[in-house]
Each structure stands twice: as C-alpha cells, then as structure tokens.
Amino acid sequence: MDAAWSAGEDPVVGVVDREGEATDADRSGSADIDAIDPSTLSTVDATHVSGDLEEVLAADPSVLVTAGEAALAAAARTGVDTPILPVGPVSGIESVVRDGLVAALDAVLDGDVARRPRSVLGVTLESGSADDHDPDSASAVDERALFDVTLVTDEPARISEYGVRSRGSDVATFRADGVVAATPAGSHGYASAVEAPQLSPALDALAVAPIAPFVTQTRRWVLPNDDLAVTVERDEGDVTLVADGRSVGTVTVDSRVTVSVVGTLPTLVVPGYSEL
C-alpha cells in the first residue's frame, strides 16, 4: 500500500556509487549499469554522500539512491528502513531512468512521492539432522531475498527431484533442473522466463515454478508467502541454493529450505518519473 513520505528538513541524499556484491549469474544485465556519478546531483538542494552501501548508511541518509537490481537487493539484505529511490531497469519494481534522476530527486524532496513497501523474504537452509542430544548437529544458513529464491542442479542435464510444501501441506513433487520461488517483484524477472505466474504487488503471495521440468506439463503455483518449504527428495548432482542471484549454500537430501516474508523494503515511486 502506498503512503505519503517527506524528506524532512536538511535532507541527506545517499548515493550508492558501487553496485555491491557481484552476482553469480546476473540474469537481468543490471551489473552492466555504470555507477551513479554523485556530481550529477550538484543542482539537487540537499547534502550528498556517496560510497559503498555500508559507508552511505553510516551517514544516516534521508533517502538512498541505488542503481540496478544488485544494489537494491544488497540493500534489502541489510534490513535497511531508509526509503530507496531505485534507478535503472529493475524487474517488477518502478524505477527512475538515469537521465531523469535529478528531476525525480527534486520531486522527492518537494514531497511529490509515495512510499511503497516491497516484500523481503527470509531464507533458511537447515542441513543435517539436529537431535535432542546434539542440537548443534544441524547447520543453518540465513539469508534475505528481494526477488527470488532458487534451488538448481549445478551440472547441466542432471535432473534432481524436488518437493514443495506450503503451510505444512504437500503441494507437489517433481523432477527438474531446479525450482524457483519469487516475490511479486521477482515474478516479473527470472521467474517469468520459466513461466511462473506474474503477480501483482498487491498480493501477499509467492510464485513457484519448476525449472526445466522432466514432465513438461508440471504445474506452476501461487502460494502463501509464509511457511514455504522446498526439499531435495533425490539428487543426481550438487544442488545450489541461490538468493537474488547469489549462491548461498548447498542443498542435500537431508536439507530443508524454508521461505517466508520477514519484512519489507521501502521504495519511493515518483509520479511521472518512476516506471516499470
């Protein structure tokens, strides 16, 4: 839901001039976007700070400017609550074209802007089998994702078997190269290439789809965005867990990946300047 927003007095514009961590497989091309040159904002009536994400956030900016999907996803991983103005092509999220950034920021500082929250997923990979005698026998990986979570077999043409559960109920078991679960924003990016349903941001749901299924008529699903579990029922090669294009762990047959919305990322939409 949109909400009005104001930069307040003495605003500080934080510019992330580097995109953050490189993704393992940049599916959107956003890594080719040049960093934003803070000098282009010299006419904007606000204090400017620039640097990498950590440096900029340390300055407590009123608004954060990020270029491309990688930088926006990196901000989501930090749990930042500073409103973000996305720049450049971003799948499923309104963003400002680079040439319109100065005018868009002027509109932001004048209050002609809406704050729109985007769902952020918490992703947990539990490996091994913890028991009452040794509760630390299971290792866990905790990550956040703004766009999608993917389990994928590393080797080409090596199909594994995956299981999907939602709120404790079995949804499906299928053989495929992988499986993707996407937020409404992510459903318009990579997930759409594997024919996942494209979701409205008004929905509290995830789009889930197999990747290159062995049976071509395998279904795709729209599922609640809490308590989704994905498992590897049988593997024929290493299966990697990928969150927003970053490899974050290895999934085995005794592992369990759970996905739920754990928060939101506040983005700014500027009428006349922000577009999908």
Whether residues 38 and 163 share a domain: the answer is no
Whether residues 183 and 228 share a domain: the answer is yes
Taking the C-alpha atoms of residue 259 and residue 229, their distance in angstroms, rounded to an integer, is 6
* Residue 215 pLDDT greater than 70, yes or no: yes
Residue 211 maps to which CATH number? 2.60.200.30
Residue 45 maps to which CATH number? 3.40.50.10330
* Residue 211 pLDDT greater than 70, yes or no: yes
Q: Work out how many domains the chain is built from and give that number.
A: 2
Distances, alpha carbon 236 to alpha carbons 173, 194, 274, in Å: 15, 21, 45
Whether residues 67 and 154 share a domain: the answer is no
Global confidence as pTM: 0.88
Residue recorded with tokens 């499906």: 172
Taking the C-alpha atoms of residue 220 and residue 171, their distance in angstroms, rounded to an integer, is 10
Range of the domain at 204: 121-263
* Residue 180 pLDDT greater than 50, yes or no: yes
The pLDDT of residue 2 = 73
pLDDT band at residue 31, thresholds of 50, 70 and 90? very low
